[in-house]
Amino acid sequence: MSDVTRILSQIESGDPSAAEQLLPLVYDELRKLAAAKLAHEKPGQTLQATALVHEAYLRLVGADVDIHWQGRGHFFGAAALAMQRILVEIARHKKRLKAGGGYQRIELSEVAAPVPGSSVDVLAIDEALRKLEHHDRRKAELVRLRFFAGLTLAEAAQVLGISSSTADHDWVYAKTWLRLEVSDSDKAPKKS
């Protein structure tokens, strides 16, 4: 039994000091995953990787949380889902009319010399991922682990308990399915 699994069991039993023991063991890994995820966000993202890790961690081991942990893989899968939800909540908040609606902040330096880069519409990915989840839950979970937690294909396969070849097949399918779904939603008329 790994230290993480042992401490998760202690948290489940109600040991108040266990959550303090867990953070140092998983913090660096969660921080790297959060930083990698935020690097692919749209320009203007104000959330820092440290804040994303702390918010996700609180949602996972906070006082009101009643999760029966099944080990390290389960914890990191839940962390991926928590990070996804946090990023989607922030994206929705920014999109609300009260928070600026469809207006986008543009820095003067960006007008003079735009910097090309890949940006991801978190809301479109979330919506497409929900549809994929209804179609095939395992493939959706694989995407969540890769996209939101930053796990490698091998790590995600291990968390899901599937072979590397199955994970590879699922990943190719899911990427294609999501690409088509997101491009179809971009073409659809927007509701006002």
Q: Looking at the structure, tell me whether residues 108 and 177 fall in a common domain.
A: no
Same domain? 162 vs 94: no
Question: What is the CATH classification number for the domain harbouring 168?
Answer: 1.10.10.10
* Statement to judge: residues 175 and 104 lie in one domain: no
pLDDT tens-place string over residues 12-63 = 777 777 777 887 888 888 888 788 777 777 666 677 888 888 888 888 877 6
- Are residues 109 and 24 part of one domain? yes
State the CATH number of the domain containing residue 14.
Answer: 1.10.1740
Mean pLDDT, the chain, as a whole number? 76
pTM above 0.75, yes or no: no
Give the pLDDT confidence score for residue 35 in this predicted structure.
80
Do 97 and 181 reside in the same domain of the chain?
Answer: no
Give residue 52's domain range. Answer: 1-113
Domain stops at, among 49, 80, 113: 113
Q: Is residue 79 domain-shared with residue 174, that is, in the same domain?
A: no
Residues 87 and 145 in one domain: no
106 backbone dihedrals φ, ψ, rounded to 5°: -125, 125
Task: Give the number of C-alpha atoms closer than 13 A to the C-alpha of residue 119, restricted to the C-beta side.
Answer: 10
Whether 154 has a pLDDT exceeding 70, the answer reads yes
Domain count, the chain: 2
Instruction: List, for residues 81-106, the tens digit of each pLDDT value.
Output: 888 888 888 878 777 755 555 555 54
Contacts of 45 (CB under 8 A, 6+ apart): 38
Reply yes or no on whether the pLDDT at 123 is more than 60: yes
In contact, 117 and 43? CB cutoff 8 Å: yes
Same domain as 89, residue 144: no
Same domain, yes or no: 142 and 59: no
Residue 139 banded pLDDT, cuts 50, 70, 90: very high
| Domain finish residue from 88, 113, 138 | 113
Answer yes or no: do 165 and 78 share one domain.
Answer: no
pLDDT beyond 90 at 170: yes
If asked whether residues 131 and 109 sit together in one domain, one would say: no
**pLDDT bracket for residue 118 (50, 70, 90):** very low
Collapse the DSSP code of 123 into the 3-class scheme (helix H, G, I; strand E, B; otherwise coil) and give the result.
helix
90 neighbors 56 (Cβ within 8 angstroms): no
